[in-house]
Amino acid sequence: MAEQVGISRMAVHGIWREHKLKPHQVKGFKVSNDPLFAEKLRDVVGLYLTHRRRAIVFSVDEKSQIQALDRSQPGLPMKPGKCGTMTHDYKRHGTTTLFAALDVQTGTVIGQCQPRHRHDEFLKFLKTIDRRTDKTLALHLIVDNYATHKHAEVKDWLAQHPRFHLHFTPTSASWLNLVERFFRDITEERIRRGVFHSVDDLKTAIQEYLDHRNSNPKPYHWTAKPETILAKVDKAKDMLRTLH
């Protein structure tokens, strides 16, 4: 830009700062084109904002391919005025998939590590949820549109267990699923900076995190109403249409 306009680079930086422009930063986004977006949105947000008697609302998803990374050299601990260190290279010791069901009301999480994330593993996790919850309560599970959640064998099992009710988020709208907040927290607080010598080490660390969280659970509070979200989505679509 400086070359094209014929001014110095510092002058360009000054103009960017004055107008609060940050061309080096880019945020990702995607507006859902789901034809049933509004209907699914109201269904899911309604589960967050309305307390249901004799029922539990779970936000469910899988965090797949979590790597057991072992650093090539030991890092140095934190010291006054200095952050901890960690080598940029690492050894891979395999992966695991964390299936998680976040109780929207209490903040507790039912978690289970499995080697893969096919419909077989999802069925196994549904059975775990079934065992670990009061059989007299209805269960409302918020899930995304991953094919595993709609497999014929999953549908057959759900038909035999009528207390389970699946609610699907709109396509390209993973931000509607509160369990993603939990995945962010466990990634930042335990996985990303961890050193794991094996998959078993990783699974142990995940279970310890779950136990610690569930000993003093704190729910995530959803506050945005459907009308507010729909207005923002409509505004984004209008903006996109002006670019074509």
Under the banding of pLDDT at 50, 70 and 90, the label for residue 102 is very high
Residue 19, in any domain of the structure: no
Domain that holds residue 161: 35-241
The fraction of the chain above a pLDDT of 70, given in percent, is: 99
pLDDT at position 163 is 97
Instruction: Please state, in angstroms and as integers, the Cα–Cα distance from residue 56 to each residue in 53, 102, 130, 166, 221, following that order.
Output: 8, 10, 12, 12, 15
Instruction: Please state, in angstroms and as integers, the Cα–Cα distance from residue 87 to each residue in 56, 72, 192, 199, 205, following that order.
Output: 43, 7, 13, 20, 20
Question: Cβ contacts of residue 195 below 8 Å, gap of 6+?
Answer: 69, 70, 71, 75
HSE, CB side, 13 Å, CA atoms: give it for residue 122: 24
Residue 174, in any domain of the structure: yes
Residue 39, in any domain of the structure: yes
- Model confidence over 166-209: pLDDT tens digits? 999 999 888 999 999 999 999 999 998 888 999 999 999 999 99
pLDDT at residue 58 greater than cutoff 90 = yes
Under the banding of pLDDT at 50, 70 and 90, the label for residue 25 is confident
Residue 210, in any domain of the structure: yes
The number of folded domains in the chain is 1
pLDDT at residue 87 greater than cutoff 90 = no
pLDDT at residue 244 greater than cutoff 70 = no
Residue 235, in any domain of the structure: yes
Is the alpha carbon torsion for 111, 112, 117, 122 positive or negative? negative
Residue 154, in any domain of the structure: yes
Of residues 154 and 239, more confidence is placed in 154
Bridge pairing between strands 164-168 and 109-114: unpaired
CATH of the domain at 126: 3.30.420.10
Q: Which helix (H) or strand (E) holds 44?
A: helix 37-49
Lowest mean pLDDT among 23-37, 43-57, 218-232: 23-37
pTM of the model: 0.83
pLDDT at residue 122 greater than cutoff 80 = yes
Residue 21, in any domain of the structure: no
Residue 188's DSSP bridge partners are none
Residue 12, in any domain of the structure: no
- Give the integer Cα–Cα distance in Å for 33 and 21: 30
DSSP state of 73: S
Lowest mean pLDDT among 34-48, 77-91, 93-107, 129-143: 77-91
